[in-house]
Structure 1
Amino acid sequence: MSALSYTLVVNGSVYGSQSARSAYLFAKALTAKGHKLVSVFFYQEGIHNASRLTVPANDEFDLVSAWQNLAKEHGVRLETCVAASLRRGVLGADEAQQHQRNGDNLAEGFEQAGLGSLASAMLTQDRVVQF
């Protein structure tokens, strides 16, 4: 079987549901099998995976850091829906300045993107899997 290209869509919050953790475990399995994970698009409550203000307890898995490490190791784009992010208070530096907020909290390695980025992924990746 030849390697396939994937984009994952994560709708679940970083904590409080299994959605994001399941997506991360799936991403790890994909890369271990030699498939190419091109991007992860965080949408709806999933954008909370991109907050640098998330502080898990010492005995909990740090999912934000795990996403960041996965992106560094495998060249994966981590994209948050900009509209969903703005509504939920996860802002990059540009958005914070544009909307006159006094701080940003988008974690390093994540970028804010529009739904056009997800649409492009749907047209160009072999598989798009939603969690």
Structure 2
Amino acid sequence: GNTRRTELEGSAYFEVEPDAVRPFTVEADGVEVRVLGTAFTVDAADTSDFITVRVRHGRVRVTGERGDLELTDGQGARVDRLTGEPVPQAAPSVERWGDRILQFHDAPLARVVATLQEVYPVRIDL
């Protein structure tokens, strides 16, 4: 076909080669992330009111019902599930880069614990 398209529930990390003839698009709960040759994450976990996109390197275009944003190296955005409005986000609290490598930036402890329990088969009691 002329497109490379996938639907996402949950979170995923992608490394995508550019292909002008066959663009790669990720759709998550009405939000479209169009790849322009890059490595990036999309977090569309049901536990959040937002869909978060973070670009490791390259470029993507994030499109919600109320607009779109183009992101490049190190940039992020989140899209409100209710309004569909994409908003730039300098540094998300949690980054997932591939095979169980996590980075937390000023994240609340509850978010850290929830993420660790989601990624690893453990229960953490505080």
Tell me whether the two structures share a fold, i.e. TM-score over 0.5: no
What is the TM-score when the length of structure 1 is the normalising length? 0.29
More strand by share: 2
More helix by share: 1
Structure with more contact order per residue of length (Cα contacts < 8 Å, sep ≥ 6)? 1
What is the TM-score when the length of structure 2 is the normalising length? 0.30
